[in-house]
Amino acid sequence: MKRERAPNFYRRVYAETKRIPRGKVTTYGTIARVLGSFRASRAVGYALMHTPMDENIPWQRVINARGTISIGGNADRPAVQKRLLVREGVHFDKSGTVDMKKYFWEP
């Protein structure tokens, strides 16, 4: 079975996501803005939800503007995302929020 290539917008999202340093996070809106699609935060989320497993894209480093993990798609994904971020040294407070002043990465 031939593997479908991701749409160009998705490819651009993946390329930008790969730039996020280990132990840092950015937001869906920030990725959208950098790509020149200011209102495409949700599209960034869809792209990351469909991240190809074989491309080593650090999708877990993209969170929402409130500093929390967005829930959607796969019910297990938020727990996996948090676990991956904690492994990288990102700290969550008791309410599940990341200190954006400390961990936010601006491209």
Q: Can you tell me whether residue 92 is helix, strand or coil?
A: strand
Its pTM surpasses 0.95: no
Bridge partner list, 8:
none
Q: Which amino acid is at 29?
A: G
Q: Which amino acid is at 57?
A: I
Is pLDDT above 80 for 75? no
pLDDT 10s digits, 81-91:
999 999 999 99
Domain 8-102, second-level architecture: Orthogonal Bundle (1.10)
pLDDT at 24: 98
Domain ranges for the chain: 8-102
Q: Can you tell me whether residue 20 is helix, strand or coil?
A: coil
Torsion of CA 24, 50, 44, 2, to 10 degrees: 120
The backbone region for 69, taken as left when phi is positive above 0, alpha when psi lies in -120 to 50, beta otherwise, is beta
